[in-house]
């Protein structure tokens, strides 16, 4: 399936920053049960590639699994070796975007300006991670960019998105949203994660 297909099922991208390897199975179970089907583990987490491999084994039949904070081609190779399909970057590097696409990855680079947005599109990005949306102007940025970018461009705001504003971003033109600390925090209990998913889905 394409990134658009997964977003059509559920627009939330779960960012499991800091997750421990042993917590991957139960966290995945809760997210999948809630209908969240795009999950990324940032590479500045403990044992990220082992955790990605565990996530693929545990939830790969139900979710698009990938890595966040990817900044090199070597990390792309390790992501593929771990079984992940989604590459999320904090920045826009056209060469890495092109190489990652050639390797068959779904690529979601970070952009903060229209110039970076067009560079990423021309390099073959599947979607644009507008980051950090909370310091770039929020919904106003989405509306402004939507007026100049190609009509089929998928926009994913990340940074400060939570249950209080998730619906506003989607109404302003976002095709999905990346959620980190408002959804998952290292060391949280299963009950707390269930509460967060419930609040976010209710806000949708």
Question: Could you confirm whether 194 is annotated as catalytic?
Answer: no
Residue 129 bears catalytic tag? yes
Summarize the confidence of residues 146-170 as an average pLDDT: 96
132: tokens are: 């950090």
Confidence of residue 168 (pLDDT cuts 50, 70, 90): very high
CATH of 3-203, one of 3.20.20.70, 3.90.550.10, 3.40.640.10, 3.10.20.30: 3.20.20.70
140/29 Cα distance (integer angstroms):
35
- pLDDT tens-digit profile of 14-67? 999 999 999 999 999 999 999 999 999 999 999 999 999 999 999 999 999 999
pLDDT, tens only, 84-123: 999 999 999 999 999 999 999 999 999 999 999 999 999 9
The overall longest dimension of the chain from CA atoms, in Å, is 45
pTM of the model: 0.97
Are 173 and 142 contacting, i.e. CB atoms less than 8 angstroms apart? yes
Choosing from 22, 40, 74, 101, the catalytic residue is 40
Q: Which of 74, 75, 129, 194 is catalytic?
A: 129
What's the pLDDT tens digit per position in 132-152? 999 999 999 999 999 999 999
Query: Where residue 82 falls among pLDDT bands split at 50, 70, 90?
Result: very high
Note the pLDDT of residue 5. 97
């Amino acid at each position: 399936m394409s990134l658009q297909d997964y977003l059509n099922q559920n627009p939330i991208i779960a960012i499991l920053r800091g997750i421990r390897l042993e917590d991957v199975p139960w966290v995945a179970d809760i997210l999948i049960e809630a209908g969240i089907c795009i999950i990324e583990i940032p590479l500045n987490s403990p044992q990220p590639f082992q955790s990605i491999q565990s996530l693929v084994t545990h939830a790969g039949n139900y979710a698009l699994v990938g890595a966040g904070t990817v900044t090199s081609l070597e990390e792309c190779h390790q992501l593929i070796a771990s079984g992940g399909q989604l590459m999320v970057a904090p920045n826009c590097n056209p060469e890495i975007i092109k190489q990652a696409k050639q390797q068959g990855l779904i690529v979601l680079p970070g952009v903060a300006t229209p110039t970076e947005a067009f560079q990423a599109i021309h390099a073959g990005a599947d979607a644009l991670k507008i980051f950090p949306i909370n310091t770039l102007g929020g919904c106003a940025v989405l509306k402004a960019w939507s007026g100049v970018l190609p009509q089929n461009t998928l926009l994913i705001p990340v940074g400060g998105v939570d249950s209080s504003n998730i619906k506003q971003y989607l109404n302003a033109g976002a095709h999905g949203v990346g959620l980190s600390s408002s959804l998952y925090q290292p060391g949280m209990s299963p009950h707390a994660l269930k509460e967060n998913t419930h609040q976010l889905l209710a806000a949708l």
